[in-house]
């Protein structure tokens, strides 16, 4: 099972099902189920936001190589050390720019 599967499962759960899941997690972790923590097991974090973050995890972990980044990576051995550093920064910037539309979708 990967992050996509977990994200789709969590996002399909209703509030009641999420509550049942959190109660089971509390019991599994040794909680008594009657404490204040069981009323809000996520500590004020929205469970749907957690599901969205789980969907983003594979994108954040992926290399994200495309033609642009492969070209810059191929040119790096020919560059001076200061320019290699700038090439690395450019690759990171391109990856961040690719993530912006995805992040905006979740906001």
pLDDT at residue 25, rounded to an integer: 67
Q: What residue spans define the domains of the chain?
A: 1-62, 63-107
CA distance 24 to 17: 11
Question: Could you read off the pLDDT of 23-67 as tens digits, one per residue?
Answer: 766 665 655 545 444 556 666 677 777 777 777 777 666 666 789
Angle at 64 between CA 80 and CA 68, to 5 degrees: 50
- pTM of structure: 0.47
Residues 6+ apart with CB under 8 A from 95: 64, 69
CA distance 32 to 35: 7
């Amino acid at each position: 099972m990967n992050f996509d599967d977990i994200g789709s499962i969590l996002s399909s759960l209703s509030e009641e099902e999420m509550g049942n899941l959190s109660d089971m997690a509390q019991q599994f972790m040794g909680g008594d189920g009657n404490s204040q923590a069981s009323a809000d097991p996520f500590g004020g974090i929205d469970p749907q936001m957690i599901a969205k973050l789980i969907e983003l995890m594979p994108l954040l972990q992926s290399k994200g190589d495309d033609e642009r980044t492969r070209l810059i990576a191929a040119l790096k051995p020919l560059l001076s050390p200061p320019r290699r550093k700038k090439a690395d920064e450019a690759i990171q910037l391109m990856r961040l720019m690719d993530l912006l539309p995805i992040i905006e979708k979740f906001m």
